[in-house]
Structure 1
Amino acid sequence: MTTLATSVATAVATVSPGDTVWLGNFGTQLFAVGEELVRQEVRGLHVVLASGGLLLDRLIGAGVVAEVTFAHCWNAVGPAPTWHFRRAWQERADIRWHELPMGVLAAALGAAARGLPFAPVHVHPDTGYATDDWSGGMLAAVTTSFGVATVVRALPVDVAFVHVDRADPNGDSVFSAPPGEAVAAAQAARRVVVVAEELGLPEGVRADLPGLLVDTVVVAPGAAAPDGVPGRYPRDVAAYTGGTA
């Protein structure tokens, strides 16, 4: 049964140290959830983001992250880089890193959603994914009667925070932009929290994310700020160009 949470803080309070947590969608950073994780001093998380950006940088700097699976981490509005991420990557051995191509990350979530231990994928043989273990042990080669294949380990999620444009009280939700891996993350998650800009769906609109996958709905206008949401509010470029050092 889907429930309505009174606030982002209430939803974040259900996250436990050591959980694997999906945050946001590709191209939409859920800063409201990230800041609440920092405020509640949650520690030891395995954070999963397709697009890391300044949100991942902030969580690393605040000590929230013990392990991270991501496709990239950058400041989308240069030239200021993601300083905490860079320093941690170069200097800290206490964070476990798993860098995967976008499609491979989606496949890992898809395998978990289907209850499989892994999924076959393709990575270019001349990249560090294949030669330098950028994946941190998530890729392997298997030999079958059909030939040899590269596979990615399934990536089950404890809590998925998914940003949507609108949601109804039953959890049926619609996106304002392509959701990227968000639906796969919801399918792979033990618990799904939808963070909506607005409550209610227009008559006749078909849900992009069905409520049967959703456990909690939080209505939080502006939850992605200073990132932007198409049709809602623009990215705060000044906040991005200020950097995170």
Structure 2
Amino acid sequence: MPSRKPRSAPLYEQIRQLIVAALAAGEWKPGESLPSEAALAERFGASAGTVRRALDELTAEHLVERRQGSGTFVSTHAAPRQPFRFLRLVPDDDAQAFTRELLSCRRLRATAPIALALGLRPAEPVIEVRRLLHRRERPVVLDELWLPEKNFEGLTAEVIESHAGALYALFEARFGVHMVRAQEQLRAVAAPRQAAVLLRVPEGQPLLSVERLAFTYGDRPVELRRGLYLTDHDHYRNDLN
């Protein structure tokens, strides 16, 4: 019996993929506007409705955003409403946003688990960043993250300290790396001694452990992050649609 030919992707999906490829190539940078639907339709030889469907898919993926009366823009972590897009720790009260305290930024060789997660060779150079996030004048999150050095050459403590916004906005602006999606694993853990000291809690206190792998265009992993969250006055929230 002859095998069936594989079906080609619908035209709107092909256009979505072409737009993502253009984003990955830097044709339109975070925060910049895309051409109009009519211009994109002419470029891709498709109807405006097909292009609109492709943009709808990209909007649902948070790769672009529609602004009423202004057009379609590449999503950016530098937007005021996006500084902690992947951080879902929400205050129980009306506490203010986080303040950040950098603990260290150093170059090291990737351990086997870090290399595997980031798709690197064993012992390939990575940059490790450790910091505390404070709320109500006390530490709430202990963050440790690892980045492939080849994508973040020149990232130092001085560079981080001189940037007033979120880390992801810095990654966009200085290194051209845009985090577009992330996977998380959550579990309850007992605070180890060093983390307990930094978070000012008793050793063994229950904490929420969140491991996040963030991807840029093309589903390429570019950040592994492990956070310990104190949830006495904050909670983890995820809106499910």
Pick the structure with greater CA Rg.
2
TM-score by length of 1: 0.25
**Higher RCO, Cα 8 Å, sep 6+:** 1
TM-score by length of 2: 0.25
